[in-house]
Amino acid sequence: MSQPPLVAAAASDSGLSGVRPSFGKVLVFGVGLIGGSFALALKAAAEVEEIVGFGRSLGSLKEALALGIIDRVGANAAQEAMDADLILIATPVGAIGEALARIAPTLGANTVVTDAGSTKSDVVAIARAVLGERSGQFVPAHPIAGAENSGAAAARAELYRGRKVVITPLAENSAAALARVRAAWAACGADLRELTPARHDEVFAAVSHLPHLLSFALVHDLALRDEHDTFFTYAASGFRDFTRIAASHPEMWRDICLANRAALLGELDRYRAELDDLRAALQAGDGDRLQAVFDVARRARRAWAEGAGAEVAASTPAATPHIAS
């Protein structure tokens, strides 16, 4: 699907007085929930002089201006990239290459670029292809924060406080570039972690991308049934909790699923095997097997919720696989 071109917002000047911020000019591509919250957090921490916004919808940019998320923008992205301290690309992953291509020809020697994409290996490959020998100025990152609502109106300064942000450094990143990106996310209140791009994609295929796929699939199935109104009428808290993420941005999750499809397909196959095992237990009337699976899941879920996720594997007994007769 083709993407509409990025357009710049109109300028409005508002600076921080009496404060010497860590960042002078920061460009944000994508001023919705993720990018907008990043901008608001830096402002709340008095760590930035001005935020320059770019996006694909002039309407969303005007809304971001009205909400005080962005301050101004120059004539074009290439011009602004020459002297920016930091650039955050918070677009859907399918549009990251477009944003990089716009800033690449004039990227300042001291400018550091980062992203907020939910997949990393594909983004790293794109960055290296587009930026070439300047790929060391790109430090990939992924904030583990969000909500089912999107757009500038959903942005809030506290979104990243106490939330994990995974940075996936490249071999060619300088210590200074990595430190600048870490400083920006730390100013937002984030809990910083590091993974390799490949390991990041493996982990998040299991704990983020697959759950979204399953949630979308369940709601889609019910929505297409002849008596869908009846099903939704009687759906209660369990359905609401499980399907909350199906209200997420469809374009963004389309791009994420396609970008991480190899790892996601592997996780989907593992989940299908789990479902086949449960189906066999149901068909055989094997209550012991069902209870064993549910017990392991309950223990693991409670341990994770209580902050003991690292100990789950060691402390939770494995259930015996069901063998159909």
User: Amino acid identity, residue 50?
Assistant: E
Question: Does 161 share its domain with 231?
Answer: no
pLDDT of residue 21: 78
Query: Does residue 299 form part of some domain?
Result: no
pLDDT of residue 320: 41
pLDDT of residue 146: 72
Phi, psi (deg, nearest 5) at residue 88: -105, 125
Phi, psi (deg, nearest 5) at residue 5: -65, 150
Q: Residues near 67 by Cβ (< 8 Å), separated by ≥ 6?
A: 36, 152, 153, 155
Q: In what order do the strands lie in the sheet with 191-194?
A: 141-143, 164-167, 191-194
Here the CATH number for the domain that contains residue 206 is 1.10.3660.10
Question: Does 68 share its domain with 156?
Answer: yes
pLDDT of residue 317: 45
Whose CA is closest to 51, among 72, 74, 82? 72
Question: Does 151 share its domain with 24?
Answer: yes
Question: Is the pLDDT reported for residue 137 higher than 90?
Answer: yes
Query: Does residue 322 form part of some domain?
Result: no
Whose CA is closest to 141, among 104, 99, 98, 186? 186
Q: Which of 195, 217, 246 is the last residue of a domain?
A: 195
Q: Residues near 204 by Cβ (< 8 Å), separated by ≥ 6?
A: 118, 119, 142, 260
Across the chain, mean pLDDT equals: 88
Instruction: Indicate the pLDDT class of residue 100, thresholds 50, 70 and 90.
Output: very high
Q: What is the mean pLDDT of residues 64-91?
A: 89
Question: Does 62 share its domain with 157?
Answer: yes
Q: What is the pLDDT of residues 146-190, one digit of tens each?
A: 766 678 989 999 999 999 999 999 999 999 999 999 999 999 999
pLDDT of residue 151: 87
Instruction: Count up the domains in the chain and report the number.
Output: 2
SS (H, E, C) the chain: CCCCCCEECCCCCCCCCCCCCCEEEEEEECCCHHHHHHHHHHHHCCCEEEEEEEECCHHHHHHHHHCCCCCECCCCHHHHCCCCCEEEECCCHHHHHHHHHHHHHHCCCCCEEEECCCCCHHHHHHHHHHHHHHHHHEECEEECCCCCCCCHHHCCCCCCCCCEEEECCCCCCCHHHHHHHHHHHHHCCCEEEECCHHHHHHHHHHHHHHHHHHHHHHHHHHHCCCCHHHHHHHCCHHHHHHHHHHHCCHHHHHHHHHHCHHHHHHHHHHHHHHHHHHHHHHHHCCHHHHHHHHHHHHHHHHHHHCCCHHHHHHHCCCCCCCCCC
Q: What is the pLDDT of residues 275-312, one digit of tens each?
A: 999 999 999 999 999 999 999 999 999 999 998 654 54
Question: Does 61 share its domain with 132?
Answer: yes
pLDDT of residue 313: 47
Query: Does residue 296 form part of some domain?
Result: no
pLDDT of residue 6: 42
Q: Which of 195, 225, 241 is the last residue of a domain?
A: 195
Query: Does residue 28 form part of some domain?
Result: yes
pLDDT of residue 9: 40
Question: Does 102 share its domain with 207?
Answer: no
Percent of the chain with pLDDT over 70: 86
pLDDT of residue 210: 97
Q: What is the pLDDT of residues 25-76, one digit of tens each?
A: 999 999 999 999 999 999 999 999 999 999 888 888 999 999 999 998 645 8
At 1, list the tokens: 């699907």
Whose tokens are 């509409």? That residue is: 4
Question: Does 268 share its domain with 144?
Answer: no
Question: Does 160 share its domain with 209?
Answer: no
Residue, of 13 and 47, whose pLDDT is higher: 47
Question: Does 111 share its domain with 256?
Answer: no
At 192, list the tokens: 């910083």
Whose tokens are 């063998």? That residue is: 323
pLDDT of residue 3: 39
Q: What is the mean pLDDT of residues 310-323?
A: 44
Query: Does residue 297 form part of some domain?
Result: no
Instruction: Indicate the pLDDT class of residue 17, thresholds 50, 70 and 90.
Output: very low
Residue 275 belongs to what domain range? 200-284
pLDDT of residue 11: 36
Question: Does 168 share its domain with 33?
Answer: yes
Whose tokens are 């499809």? That residue is: 261
Question: Does 39 share its domain with 177?
Answer: yes
pLDDT of residue 23: 95
Residue, of 9 and 191, whose pLDDT is higher: 191
Query: Does residue 314 form part of some domain?
Result: no
Q: Residues near 62 by Cβ (< 8 Å), separated by ≥ 6?
A: 9, 10
Here the CATH number for the domain that contains residue 161 is 3.40.50.720
Instruction: Indicate the pLDDT class of residue 2, thresholds 50, 70 and 90.
Output: very low
Question: Does 149 share its domain with 274?
Answer: no
At 283, list the tokens: 């068909």
Q: Which of 180, 195, 210 is the last residue of a domain?
A: 195
Range with the poorest average pLDDT among 3-7, 119-123, 295-299: 3-7
